[in-house]
């Protein structure tokens, strides 16, 4: 009788041990399944969750269109249709009409302040619809310039160097079934610029070229008498004279800030001091200063130099050497 009780007790204990074993197994399997589920869920979330947004592609847009009609807006609409996340920076749309030299000057001044891969669309195109080419220029600095082949790229190319030039011939990169003969800003330059900014392969735009049209730029001359240069533009609404004379060339004449000198501009001799900024002279008095781009400029303090002296670029300048 005792033996039977012992056997029954042993059997119950074994069954309890087995039950505990299987309970542990089931518990571990459940934990494993939960771990697998969490791993798969995290991988799925990582694939579906948005990446950290980077900066949008940038187009810097410059024309001589003005802003009194819809021309600029139409060009931007074409760009946004191709690259909706595009960022468009208006360099200016007030380039003096047909002035390729001023357009080239603005590109030269602005482009160093924008990063690699920026796309510049420049439309100053007095011979639109003629045999002049439409081109894309990639500089050695890694920026793209979409523009007519009329000299606009000259100053940037001289400073930054050119990696490659391509003619725009691919109709798939243009807008519409028939390209207008008078509005290539909308039909050619804007869509090409947007394709480039979007990251499309720029070699598809058309065949490579070996050269581009250059502006004939006059350079200052320095001799025993002094420095001869040229007024090349006016500084916006202020009437300051922008010249092609660098600060380095001017300083070779021996002048220091505070010195007075006589400058001949357009055949008229004007006496003025060489100073740091406009307020260094009395109101409406003339001055010579080095502008923000490192060139000799002329101004009146809080007045319009060009209007006061009836000066319209281009005009010759002569600055004599300092008398010791």
Q: By C-alpha distance, which of 223, 306, 324, 224 is closest to 268? A: 306
Q: What stretches in the chain show pLDDT beneath 70?
A: 1-16, 19, 21-26, 29-53, 177
**What confidence score (pLDDT) does residue 20 get?**
72
**What confidence score (pLDDT) does residue 55 get?**
79
Top CATH class of 58-209 equals alpha beta
List CB contacts of 169: < 8 A, sequence separation 6 or more: 205, 206, 207
Domain boundaries in the chain?
1-49, 58-209, 221-320
Q: By C-alpha distance, which of 91, 93, 84 is closest to 57? A: 84
* Distance from C-alpha of 276 to C-alpha of 293, rounded to nearest angstrom: 14
List CB contacts of 324: < 8 A, sequence separation 6 or more: 254
- For 57, how many CA atoms within 13 A lie in the half-sphere containing its CB? 21
Q: State pLDDT tens for residues 234-251.
A: 987 899 999 999 999 999
**What confidence score (pLDDT) does residue 176 get?**
74
**What confidence score (pLDDT) does residue 34 get?**
57
**What confidence score (pLDDT) does residue 178 get?**
76
Which of 1.20.210.10, 2.40.30.90, 3.40.50.2300, 3.40.50.300 would CATH assign to domain 221-320? 2.40.30.90
Q: State pLDDT tens for residues 115-160.
A: 999 999 999 999 999 999 999 999 999 999 999 999 999 999 999 9
Helices 190-198 and 71-82: crossing angle in degrees, nearest 10, is 30
**What confidence score (pLDDT) does residue 198 get?**
96
**What confidence score (pLDDT) does residue 49 get?**
46
């Amino acid at each position: 009788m005792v033996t039977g009780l012992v056997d029954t007790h042993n059997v119950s204990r074994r069954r309890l041990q087995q039950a505990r074993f299987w309970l542990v197994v089931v518990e571990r399997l459940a934990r494993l399944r939960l771990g697998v589920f969490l791993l798969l869920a995290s991988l799925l979330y990582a694939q579906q969750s948005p990446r950290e947004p980077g900066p949008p592609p940038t187009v810097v847009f410059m024309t001589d269109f003005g802003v009194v009609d819809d021309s600029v807006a139409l060009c931007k609409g074409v760009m946004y249709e191709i690259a909706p996340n595009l960022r468009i920076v208006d360099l200016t749309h007030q380039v003096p009409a047909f002035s390729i030299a001023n357009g080239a000057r603005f590109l030269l001044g602005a482009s160093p302040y924008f990063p690699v891969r920026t796309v510049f669309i420049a439309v100053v195109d007095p011979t639109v619809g003629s045999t002049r080419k439409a081109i894309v220029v990639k500089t050695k600095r890694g920026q793209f310039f979409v523009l007519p082949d009329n000299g606009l790229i000259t100053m940037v190319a001289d400073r930054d160097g050119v990696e490659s030039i391509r003619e725009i011939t691919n109709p798939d990169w243009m807008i519409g079934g028939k390209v207008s003969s008078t509005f290539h800003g909308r039909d050619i330059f804007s869509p090409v610029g947007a394709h480039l900014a979007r990251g499309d392969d720029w070699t598809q735009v058309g065949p490579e070229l070996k050269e581009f049209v250059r502006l004939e730029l006059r350079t200052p001359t320095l001799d025993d008498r002094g420095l001869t240069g040229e007024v090349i533009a006016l500084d916006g609404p202020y009437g300051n004279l922008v010249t092609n004379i660098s600060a380095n060339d001017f300083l070779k004449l021996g002048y220091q800030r505070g010195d007075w000198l006589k400058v001949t501009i357009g055949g008229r001799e004007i006496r003025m001091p060489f100073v740091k900024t406009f307020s260094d002279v009395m109101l409406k008095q003339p001055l010579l200063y080095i502008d923000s781009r490192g060139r000799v400029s002329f101004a009146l303090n809080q007045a319009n130099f060009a209007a006061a002296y009836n000066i319209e670029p281009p005009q010759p300048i002569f600055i004599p050497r300092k008398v010791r």
